[in-house]
C-alpha cells in the first residue's frame, strides 16, 4: 500500500508563514509528507500547530510560500486559481466541522452543487444525486432543507456532497466536532467505509479516540510534523 | 457552470431572503414606475395640446394681407410699398387650386346689434357657408349661413351663444329680426357655446354672409382668407401654391403673408417633447438611487454569505463563477424590479386616464425601454463591486466565518 512509485500526495519542503501584525507566524515549517492512495490518516495536534493550514494546503485552498506539492504526480503549486478550482472540483472533497450546507437549498440541491459548479448536464446530475441520496440513506430527506435535518443527517448530506464527484482525497476537518457520540460514530463509520472502497481519507481532529482509529497518525506541533506512526492494525472503539 | 444553473442559483439566493429582495424590487420598481408615469404625463400633455390644435383644424393655411417678414432688396419694393388688399376674387381663385378643399374669407369689424329694444356692441364676422366646417364649429340651434355666391349675400345672421342670451334670453331667436347698423337681418341659427376662433371666443360673434358684411362696412377688402388643405401632408404644397397664385394676381408682388397652424403645432410639439425628456431625467435620478440601493443590498448579501462563497470555492467554483453568480443576482433583482415598475407605471397611467378621460396619458415606448434599460444598467454597474468583492474572498477565512 505504501508503494513509493504509487504516490497520491507528495509534499516536500513546504513552509507557510502568516503575517499577524508585526509578528510572523510560522504555520508550517519545512514539512515533508508522502501519502499513498487509499491511506487513512489522522492529523492531530494542539491548536495552532498548523494542522488546519496543512489541510487547507492539501485542499488547494492555500498555497505554500516555499516547497512543492505534487498531487497525483502533478505539481499543483504552479497552477493558476482557475486550474486549482478545477482540481478541487474533480479530485478533492471537503468535509467541515460545521457542515457548511447552503441553508436555502434542499439536501438534494446541496449534494448537486459540486456537479452544478462543474457544469455537469442536468440529466446526469439528477442521476448521480439520486444515487448519492440512496447510498447515504437520505432518499426520503431529499427535499428537506438543512434546518429540517438532524446533525447526523446534515453531515451525511455534506459527505454525500463531498463524494459525489468521486474525489481521490477526502479532507475532513473535525467531522464529528459538532455531533454527539452516537451520530459521530455513525459518521466516522461512513467515512471509514468510503476509505475501505479506496478513497484516501485525511482527518484533522482534536479527539484522540477518533485519531486512534486511523491507520496512520501524524502529530503536529508548532508547524512541524513531530511524529508519523503507522498502526499495523486499525484499532476500534 | 451553465448559464441556466447560474440563473437558477441566483434566483434561489434572491428568493431565499424575501424581505430584502422585496424591498429592493420595490425601490427599483418605484424608480421605473416614476419614469413611466411621468413620461406618460409629459407625453400626454403633448398629445393633448397637439390634439386640441388639430381639432381647431390643423390643415389650415391662413392668408393675411401685407408682408410680415422682411426679405432682401426687391425692385418691386421701390415701386410700391402699399400692399394690395385681399379681395373676394382672390378667395375664389384660391378655391381652384389643387389640394384645396375649402376656403373661407373673413372680414371682421366691431358693430352694434339692436333687437327687441336692446342695444349691444358685438363683433361682426363676414364669411361664407364653409366657415363652420373650416373652423370645425357647431351650430346649437337652426342652421349656419346658406350657401351663396361670394358676391351677393342674403340678409341672414348667425348669433354667438352669449349674444343670443343677452338679447333674446330664453326665447327662441330663430326667424326673429335683429338690426345691425342700418340693416335688418333675420336670425337663422345660433352657434354652440365655447367655440374658439381667430384668437377670440365665438360666443360674442354675429356671423353674416361676406357680401352683406362688405356692403354694411362699405369695403371690398378681406381681413383673412382661411384655406383648408386636403390633408396635413399637403399643407406645404398648398402654402406654396397660395403664395404663388396671390403673387401672380397681385402683379408679381409678394404682398401677402401665409401662415400655417402646423408651424405653431410643431413648436408646441418640440417644447413639450423637451419637457417630457426633462421629466424623464428627473425620474431617472430615482433609478440611480435604486441602483445604489442594489449595490448596498448586494454588499450586505456578500457579507452575510461569506461562508457560502468560501464553500463554493472549496467545491471548485472559480472566481469568475462566483462573480457571475452575484452579478446574475443583481441583474435579476433589478430586472424584475424594472418589470414590476413597468407594470406599476402602466397601471398608474391607466388610472390617470380613468380619472382624466380627456388626457391621453400613454407612456411612450422609448421611455419604457429607457426605464427598463436603465434599471438593468444600474444593476449591472452597481452589481460589479459586490460581485468582485465576493470573488476575491479568501476561501479559508470565508469558511472559518460562521
Handedness of CA B265, B271, B276, B279 (dihedral sign): negative
CA distances from B224 to A2, B70, B221 (A): 113, 20, 9
Render pLDDT for B318-356 as a digit per residue (tens, 0 to 9). Answer: 999 999 999 998 888 888 999 999 999 999 999 999 998
Contacts of A76 in chain B (CB under 8 A): none
| CB < 8 Å & 24+ apart, contacts of B78-86 | B80/B253, B83/B255, B83/B256, B84/B250, B84/B251, B84/B253, B84/B255, B85/B220, B85/B221, B85/B222, B86/B221, B86/B222, B86/B223, B86/B224, B86/B225, B86/B246, B86/B256
Among A residues 173-192, those touching chain B with beta carbons less than 8 Å apart: none
In Å, what is the CA distance from A58 to each residue of A67, B50, B124, B132, B213? 13, 75, 104, 95, 109
Nearest-Cα distance to chain B for A109, in Å, is 10
Where does the pLDDT of residue A237 fall: very low under 50, low under 70, confident under 90, or very high at 90 and above?
A: very low
Mean pLDDT taken over chain B: 83
CA distance B265 to chain A (A): 60
pLDDT of A235 reads 46
- Residue A232 confidence (pLDDT): 61
Residues of A in contact with B321 (CB under 8 A): 85, 117
Q: Would you say residue A200 has pLDDT above 90?
A: yes
Q: How far apart are CA B393 and CA B396, in angstroms?
A: 9
Angle at B138 between CA B133 and CA B143, to 5 degrees: 90
Q: Is A88 on the interface with B (CB under 8 A)?
A: yes
Q: How many CB pairs under 8 A join A and B?
A: 71
Among candidates B307, B312, B399 on the partner chain, residue whose Cβ is nearest the Cβ of A117? B312
Say what the pLDDT of residue A2 is. Answer: 44
Chain A residues near residue B319 by CB distance under 8 angstroms: 81-82, 85
CA end-to-end span of chain A: 24
State the Cα–Cα distance between residues B216 and B324, nearest whole angstrom: 86
Hey, are the CB atoms on A119 and B1 less than 8 Å from each other?
A: yes
Residue A68 has φ and ψ, to the nearest 5°, of -125, 150
Of the candidates B16, B311, B314, which has its C-beta nearest A59's C-beta? Answer: B314
Interatomic CA distance for residues A118 and B300, integer angstroms: 27
pLDDT tens, residue by residue, A70-116 = 999 999 999 998 999 999 999 999 999 888 999 999 999 999 999 99
A85 and B1 in contact by Cβ < 8 A? Answer: no
Closest CA to A202 of A18, A44, A23, A16: A44
Amino acid A9: pLDDT: 93
Closest to A53 (Cα-Cα) out of A23, A96, A17: A17
Residue A1 predicted with pLDDT over 50 = no
Give CA–CA dist B98/B227, Å, rounded: 12
SS3 assignment, position A172 = strand
Quickly state the pLDDT bin for B217 (edges 50, 70, 90). Answer: confident
Mean local confidence (pLDDT), B297-306 = 85
Cβ–Cβ gap A105/B12 under 8 Å? yes
Q: What is the pTM of this model?
A: 0.69
CA-angle at B96, arms to B93 and B101, nearest 5°: 115
Local structure of residue A140 (DSSP, 8 states): G
Chain B residues touching chain A at CB-CB below 8 Å = 1-2, 5, 9, 12-13, 15-16, 307-308, 310-321, 395-396, 399, 402
Give the gap in angstroms from C-alpha B321 to the nearest C-alpha of chain A. Answer: 8
Cell representation of residue B127: 364669411
CA A211 to chain B, closest CA, distance in angstroms equals 22
Amino acid at each position: 500500500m505504501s508503494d513509493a512509485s504509487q504516490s497520491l500526495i507528495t509534499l516536500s519542503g513546504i513552509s507557510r508563514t502568516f503575517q499577524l501584525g508585526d509578528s510572523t507566524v510560522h504555520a508550517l515549517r519545512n514539512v515533508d509528507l508522502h501519502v499513498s492512495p487509499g491511506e487513512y490518516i489522522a492529523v492531530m495536534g494542539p491548536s495552532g500547530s498548523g494542522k488546519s493550514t496543512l489541510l487547507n494546503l492539501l485542499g488547494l485552498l492555500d498555497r505554500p510560500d516555499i516547497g512543492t506539492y505534487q498531487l497525483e504526480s502533478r505539481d499543483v503549486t504552479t497552477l493558476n486559481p482557475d486550474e486549482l478550482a478545477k482540481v478541487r472540483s474533480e479530485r478533492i472533497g471537503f468535509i467541515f466541522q460545521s457542515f457548511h450546507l447552503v441553508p436555502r437549498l434542499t439536501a438534494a440541491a446541496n449534494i448537486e452543487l459540486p456537479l452544478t459548479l462543474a457544469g455537469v448536464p442536468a440529466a446526469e446530475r439528477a442521476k448521480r444525486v439520486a444515487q448519492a441520496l440512496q447510498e447515504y440513506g437520505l432518499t426520503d430527506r431529499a427535499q428537506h432543507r438543512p434546518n429540517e435535518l438532524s446533525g447526523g443527517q446534515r453531515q451525511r448530506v455534506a459527505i454525500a456532497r463531498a463524494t459525489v464527484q468521486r474525489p481521490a482525497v477526502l479532507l475532513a476537518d473535525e467531522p464529528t466536532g459538532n455531533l454527539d457520540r452516537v451520530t459521530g460514530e455513525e459518521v466516522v463509520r461512513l467515512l471509514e467505509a468510503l476509505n475501505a472502497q479506496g478513497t484516501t481519507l485525511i482527518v484533522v481532529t482534536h479527539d484522540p479516540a477518533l485519531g486512534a482509529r486511523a491507520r496512520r497518525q501524524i502529530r503536529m506541533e508548532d508547524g512541524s510534523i513531530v511524529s508519523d506512526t503507522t498502526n499495523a492494525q486499525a484499532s476500534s472503539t | 457552470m451553465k448559464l441556466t444553473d447560474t440563473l437558477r442559483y441566483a434566483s434561489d439566493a434572491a428568493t431565499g431572503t424575501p424581505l430584502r429582495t422585496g424591498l429592493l424590487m420595490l425601490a427599483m420598481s418605484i424608480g421605473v414606475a416614476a419614469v413611466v408615469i411621468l413620461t406618460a404625463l409629459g407625453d400626454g400633455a403633448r398629445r393633448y395640446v397637439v390634439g386640441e390644435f388639430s381639432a381647431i383644424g390643423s390643415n389650415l393655411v391662413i392668408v393675411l394681407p401685407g408682408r410680415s417678414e422682411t426679405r432682401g432688396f426687391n425692385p418691386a419694393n421701390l415701386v410700391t410699398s402699399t400692399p394690395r388688399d385681399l379681395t373676394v376674387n382672390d378667395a375664389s381663385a384660391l378655391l381652384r387650386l389643387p389640394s384645396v378643399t375649402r376656403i373661407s374669407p373673413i372680414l371682421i369689424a366691431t358693430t352694434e346689434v339692436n333687437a327687441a329694444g336692446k342695444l349691444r356692441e358685438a363683433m361682426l364676422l363676414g364669411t361664407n357657408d364653409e366657415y363652420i366646417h373650416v373652423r370645425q364649429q357647431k351650430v346649437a340651434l337652426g342652421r349656419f349661413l346658406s350657401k351663396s355666391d361670394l358676391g351677393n349675400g342674403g340678409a341672414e345672421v348667425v348669433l354667438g351663444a352669449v349674444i343670443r342670451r343677452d338679447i333674446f334670453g330664453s326665447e327662441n331667436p330663430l326667424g326673429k329680426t335683429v338690426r345691425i347698423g342700418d340693416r335688418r337681418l333675420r336670425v337663422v341659427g345660433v352657434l354652440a357655446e365655447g367655440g374658439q376662433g381667430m384668437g377670440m371666443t365665438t360666443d360674442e360673434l354675429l356671423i353674416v354672409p361676406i357680401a352683406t358684411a362688405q356692403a354694411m362696412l362699405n369695403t371690398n377688402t378681406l381681413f383673412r382668407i382661411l384655406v383648408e388643405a386636403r390633408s396635413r401632408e399637403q399643407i406645404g404644397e398648398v402654402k406654396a401654391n397660395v403664395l404663388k397664385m396671390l403673387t401672380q394676381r397681385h402683379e408679381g408682388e409678394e404682398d401677402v403673408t401665409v401662415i400655417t397652424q402646423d408651424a405653431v403645432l410643431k413648436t408646441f410639439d418640440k417644447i413639450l417633447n423637451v419637457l417630457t425628456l426633462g421629466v424623464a431625467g428627473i425620474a431617472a435620478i430615482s433609478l440611480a438611487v435604486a441602483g445604489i440601493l442594489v449595490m448596498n443590498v448586494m454588499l450586505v448579501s456578500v457579507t452575510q454569505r461569506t461562508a457560502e462563497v468560501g464553500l463554493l470555492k472549496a467545491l471548485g467554483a472559480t472566481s469568475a463563477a462566483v462573480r457571475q453568480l452575484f452579478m446574475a443576482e443583481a441583474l435579476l433583482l433589478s430586472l424584475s424590479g424594472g418589470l414590476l415598475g413597468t407594470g406599476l407605471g402602466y397601471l398608474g397611467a391607466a388610472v390617470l386616464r380613468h380619472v382624466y378621460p380627456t388626457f391621453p396619458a400613454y407612456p411612450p415606448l422609448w421611455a419604457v425601454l429607457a426605464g427598463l434599460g436603465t434599471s438593468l444598467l444600474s444593476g449591472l454597474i452597481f452589481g460589479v463591486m459586490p460581485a468582485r468583492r465576493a470573488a476575491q474572498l479568501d476561501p479559508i477565512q470565508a469558511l472559518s466565518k460562521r
